[in-house]
């Protein structure tokens, strides 16, 4: 699987799948879901499921119904933002990429703006996890 770096809004990235990270605590969880639904309204039911709880190890996978540059959305839980570490992002990114193994040639991973870690540390952990998971 190819993992590439691109700075763009999620719907502008042309990939087979897009991976989002979801925290379990409110109101950040709801804000992240709202942000995802602004771009992909057809996946509302998948994001309302208990699979998209935001808890560590949780994940939800769904196809995008509307015309989009990505066909599949993966949402991976990272737990509570108060205790969030680079290692947790690394493991979540690895999990998201492994979920797509064999079904997606290219994926994009969305850097969460709500991360309590510095952007560089968050991005590095996500890239490392994606490489380790592929």
Residue 81 belongs to domain spanning: 2-133
Which of 1-5, 40-44, 76-80, 89-93 shows the lowest mean pLDDT across its residues? 1-5
Domain containing 14 — which CATH number? 3.40.220.10
Structure confidence by residue, pLDDT tens digits, 60-106: 999 998 778 888 999 999 999 999 999 999 999 999 999 999 888 88
Does position 11 have pLDDT exceeding 90, yes or no? no
Structure confidence by residue, pLDDT tens digits, 111-132: 999 999 999 999 999 999 999 9
Phi, psi of 18 (to 5 degrees): -130, 135
How many structural domains compose the chain?
Answer: 1
Give residue 65's pLDDT.
Answer: 81
DSSP letter (8 states) at residue 8: S
């Amino acid at each position: 699987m190819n993992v590439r770096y691109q700075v763009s809004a999620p719907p502008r990235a042309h990939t087979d799948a897009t991976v989002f990270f979801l925290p379990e605590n409110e109101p950040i969880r709801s804000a992240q879901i709202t942000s995802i639904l602004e771009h992909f309204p057809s996946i509302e039911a998948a994001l309302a499921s208990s699979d998209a709880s935001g808890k560590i190890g949780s994940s939800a996978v769904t196809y995008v119904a509307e015309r989009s540059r990505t066909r599949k959305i993966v949402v991976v839980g990272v737990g509570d933002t108060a205790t969030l570490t680079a290692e947790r992002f690394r493991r979540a990114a690895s999990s998201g990429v492994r979920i797509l193994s064999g079904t997606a040639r290219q994926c994009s991973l969305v850097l969460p703006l709500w991360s309590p870690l510095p952007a560089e540390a968050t991005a590095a952990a996500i890239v490392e996890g994606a490489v380790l998971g592929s």
